[in-house]
């Protein structure tokens, strides 16, 4: 099993950068600091101000808080010309730029999450000014408070299970004989290897669900026989109690090793990016 523990290494393929979407609330003429917009990183409460010392955001700006009703939005004021409504689509269309911005966004969220519960916001969530952010905190107080309580003492882990790619050797049989089922004639049923791998992935997923608080499973693409990385048969994220992370990793390794030809990639721990309510924030 290949296991990845770093948060930044996987940003490009499963972190916030892959879920980029522009939540734009553009500045109006006459707004204070009309040349800037407010980039919102996360919502938290009981934030230690020392966590923000020296912390900068996507535009190199100092990160600060906007507070209302006991909740704090961790934000930065960024140049509207670079990060505003008209500029973000182009910025987020460039892979190099989105990786750079995604890493910077994640670094802020991860710093805040290291000190307690956090509701991470999507990449490119921007508002016109602090007043608009305060209105958000007031309007969504009950929902945000519930999420913060739900995420207390938790972390997100991602699991991708691949099956080795189609055999190149002419002598290799691309079909495996299943010993657990037979046809009407009593002979063993021969199934494609990828179908058996998917059944194994389902078994792994059910076992991991047993120790997770919540899970999100993404559909696996139809197998491409020329995929040198192997066939992706499981792509899921799991919300765990922090103290069960070691148990979780051990379970992934044990279950994967029980099935020849499977390889698991584990990423985490992450803030709970995948489990934030998808209502407009």
Tens-place pLDDT, residues 46-95: 888 889 999 999 999 999 999 999 999 999 999 999 998 888 888 888 89
Tell whether the model's pLDDT for residue 1 goes beyond 50.
no
Q: Are 207 and 255 in contact (CB under 8 A)?
A: yes
| pLDDT at residue number 140 | 94
CA geometry: angle at 154 spanning 246 and 220, to 5°?
75
- 154-275 is a CATH 1.20.120.1200 domain: no
**Residue 31 in tokens:** 């707004």
**Residue 254 in tokens:** 């044990």
| pLDDT at residue number 281 | 54
Model confidence at 200, pLDDT cuts 50, 70, 90, reads confident
Threshold 0.85, pTM exceeds: no
**Residue 131 in tokens:** 């007043």
Model confidence at 14, pLDDT cuts 50, 70, 90, reads very low
Question: What's the full length of the chain, in residues?
Answer: 281
Q: 133-152: per-residue pLDDT in tens? A: 999 999 999 999 999 999 99
| pLDDT at residue number 33 | 58
pLDDT (mean) for 96-105:
93
Sign (positive or negative) of CA dihedral 164, 12, 120, 108: positive
CA distance 64 to 49: 9
Q: How many helices (H) and strands (E) does the chain have?
A: 8, 12
CA distance 14 to 12: 6
Pairing of strands 154-163, 64-68: unpaired
Per domain, the residue ranges of the chain are 7-151, 154-275
pLDDT (mean) for 224-239:
76
């Amino acid at each position: 099993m290949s296991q990845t523990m770093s948060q930044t290494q996987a940003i490009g393929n499963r972190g916030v950068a892959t879920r980029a979407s522009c939540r734009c609330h553009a500045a109006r003429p006459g707004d204070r600091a009309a040349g800037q917009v407010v980039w919102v990183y996360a919502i938290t409460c009981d934030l230690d101000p020392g966590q923000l010392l020296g912390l900068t955001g996507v535009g190199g700006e100092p990160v600060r808080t906007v507070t209302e009703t006991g909740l704090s939005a961790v934000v930065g004021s960024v140049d509207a010309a670079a990060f505003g409504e008209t500029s973000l689509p182009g910025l987020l269309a460039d892979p190099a730029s989105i990786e750079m911005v995604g890493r910077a966004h994640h670094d802020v969220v991860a710093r805040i999450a290291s000190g307690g519960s956090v509701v991470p916001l999507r990449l490119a969530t921007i508002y016109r000014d602090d007043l608009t952010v305060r209105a958000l905190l007031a309007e969504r107080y009950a929902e945000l408070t519930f999420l913060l309580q739900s995420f207390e003492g938790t972390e997100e882990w991602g699991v991708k299970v691949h099956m080795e790619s189609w055999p190149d050797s002419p002598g290799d049989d691309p079909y495996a004989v299943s010993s657990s089922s037979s046809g009407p004639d009593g002979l063993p049923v021969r199934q494609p290897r990828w179908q058996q791998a998917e059944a194994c992935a389902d078994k792994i997923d059910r076992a991991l669900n047993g120790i997770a608080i919540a899970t999100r499973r993404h559909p696996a693409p139809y197998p491409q026989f020329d995929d040198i990385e192997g066939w992706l048969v499981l792509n899921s994220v799991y919300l765990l109690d922090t103290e069960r992370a070691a148990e979780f990793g051990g379970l992934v390794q044990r279950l994967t090793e029980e099935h020849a030809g499977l390889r698991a990639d584990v990423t985490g721990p992450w803030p709970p990016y995948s489990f934030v309510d998808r209502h407009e924030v």
